[in-house]
């Protein structure tokens, strides 16, 4: 059955097979790098999100792509569209801020912590979907207000329809294997950077079948919930270098593997 393939494989030699594997691995690694790099710049765990529900219609439909940022030194305002994730709920929600209440600070002061700037003080939020009649308090699973730590980011950019690929892949799992194969072939054959960058996001979402936020697997795998130091300590800002917040073992592994891959590839060629 596979006699012909085996024959060609033997003809091409061990180095060629190795090269193919390396190419494929570097596709995955560079995808991870691009994704985490974006996350580092925008300070969110997931800079690109696919809309899954119709609660923001007619602004956002199912399958639209949203670009998020989460600036640590800016407060959220009414009218901002946020993506939030309630602990215990697995689906992140894209809704608009209806109420903000800033600076509900506790009286107790601790000496070893530096007080936060006014901008990064505790903020309580209430959200509502544009297409819903009522605010989201029922969705908060017992929480009375949304806090900064629940928020993934603020919607800054919009691209229609593109995210439907990921929804289609969840519905038709065969599609993702086809796409994965096509992507690695495309990468191996033409080193077109823009094309690779655009397919990376797709490849990424493939790796986790039930991913809702496109490549949420970085977050799940590394086991860290929020990459920004701000969200962990809403009242007091923990002074730490910016790379500390996002440099998880997964990122380091991805960086190291990318370096190794490119080195090995240049040796083989």
Partner 1 sequence: MHTIYARFNNISAMFSSCLMALLAAIALSSFVFTADPKGDLSVASVQVFPGNARRYKNRDQDFAFVNFNVTADLSPLFHWNTKQLFLYVSAEYANKQGVKNEVVIWDRIIRRKEDAHVSIAGRNKYVFRELSTSFRDVSPAHYMLKYNVMPYVGVLTYGEAARTPEPVPFPERQELS
The reply to whether 155 sits near partner 1 by the rule CB under 8 A is yes
Is residue 55 flagged as an active site residue? yes
Is residue 16 flagged as an active site residue? no
The contacts of residue 31 (CB under 8 Å, 6+ apart) are 200, 201, 203, 204, 215
Instruction: State which of residues 15, 101, 110, 238 lies at the interface with partner 1 (CB under 8 A).
Output: 101
Q: What is the DSSP string of 140-179?
A: GTT-SSEEGGGEEEEEEEEE-STTHHHHHHHH-HHHHHHH
| CA terminus-to-terminus distance, the chain | 31
Please say which residue, 179 or 246, places its beta carbon nearer to partner 1.
179
Instruction: State which of residues 62, 149, 156, 224 lies at the interface with partner 1 (CB under 8 A).
Output: 156
Stretch that binds partner 1, among 19-27, 38-46, 74-82, 254-262 (CB under 8 A): 74-82
Alpha-carbon span 68 to 55, nearest angstrom = 18
Is residue 95 flagged as an active site residue? yes
Of the listed 26, 30, 80, 95, which one is catalytic? 95
CB of 183 to partner 1, least distance (A): 11
Question: 67 is written with which tokens?
Answer: 């670009």
**SS3 call for 109:** coil
The contacts of residue 25 (CB under 8 Å, 6+ apart) are 257, 261
- Alpha helices (H) in the chain, listed in sequence order: 3-12, 14-42, 164-171, 173-189, 193-206, 217-222, 229-232, 242-246, 249-268
Residue with structure tokens 């939030």? 84
Stretch that binds partner 1, among 18-26, 149-157, 232-240, 261-269 (CB under 8 A): 149-157
Ramachandran sector of residue 202 (left: φ over 0; alpha: ψ -120 to 50; beta: rest): alpha
Is residue 80 within 8 A of residue 171, CB to CB? The reply is no
CB of 208 to partner 1, least distance (A): 24
The reply to whether 186 sits near partner 1 by the rule CB under 8 A is yes
Instruction: State which of residues 13, 160, 181, 242 lies at the interface with partner 1 (CB under 8 A).
Output: 160
Stretch that binds partner 1, among 45-53, 155-163, 205-213, 219-227 (CB under 8 A): 155-163
The reply to whether 157 sits near partner 1 by the rule CB under 8 A is yes
Of the listed 26, 30, 55, 184, which one is catalytic? 55
Tell me the catalytic residues: 55, 95, 136
Q: Which residues bind partner 1 (CB under 8 A)?
A: 58-59, 77-79, 81, 96-104, 124, 128, 130, 135, 137, 144, 155-160, 185-186, 189-190, 192, 194-195, 198
């Amino acid at each position: 059955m596979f006699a012909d393939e085996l024959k060609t494989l033997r003809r091409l030699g061990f180095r060629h097979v190795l090269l193919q594997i390396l190419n494929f691995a570097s596709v995955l690694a560079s995808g991870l790098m691009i994704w985490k790099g974006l996350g580092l710049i925008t300070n969110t765990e997931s800079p690109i999100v696919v809309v899954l529900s119709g609660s923001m219609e007619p602004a956002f439909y199912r399958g639209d792509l949203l670009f998020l940022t989460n600036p640590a030194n800016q407060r959220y305002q009414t009218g901002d569209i946020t993506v939030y994730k309630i602990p215990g709920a697995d689906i992140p929600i894209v809704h608009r801020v209806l109420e903000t209440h800033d600076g509900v600070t506790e009286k107790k002061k601790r000496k070893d912590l530096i007080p936060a700037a006014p901008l990064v003080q505790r903020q309580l939020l209430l959200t509502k979907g544009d297409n819903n009649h009522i605010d989201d308090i029922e969705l908060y699973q017992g929480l009375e207000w949304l806090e900064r730590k629940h928020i993934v980011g603020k919607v800054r950019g919009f691209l229609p329809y593109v995210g439907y690929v990921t929804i289609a892949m969840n519905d038709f799992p065969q599609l993702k294997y086809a796409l994965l194969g096509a992507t690695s072939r495309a990468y191996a054959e033409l080193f077109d950077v823009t094309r690779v960058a655009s397919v990376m996001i797709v490849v990424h979402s493939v790796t986790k079948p039930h991913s809702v936020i496109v490549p949420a697997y970085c977050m799940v795998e590394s086991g860290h919930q929020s990459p920004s130091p701000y969200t962990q300590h809403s009242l007091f800002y923990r002074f730490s270098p910016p790379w500390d917040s996002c440099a998880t073992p997964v990122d380091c592994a991805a960086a190291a593997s990318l370096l190794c891959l490119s080195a090995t590839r240049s040796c083989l060629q």
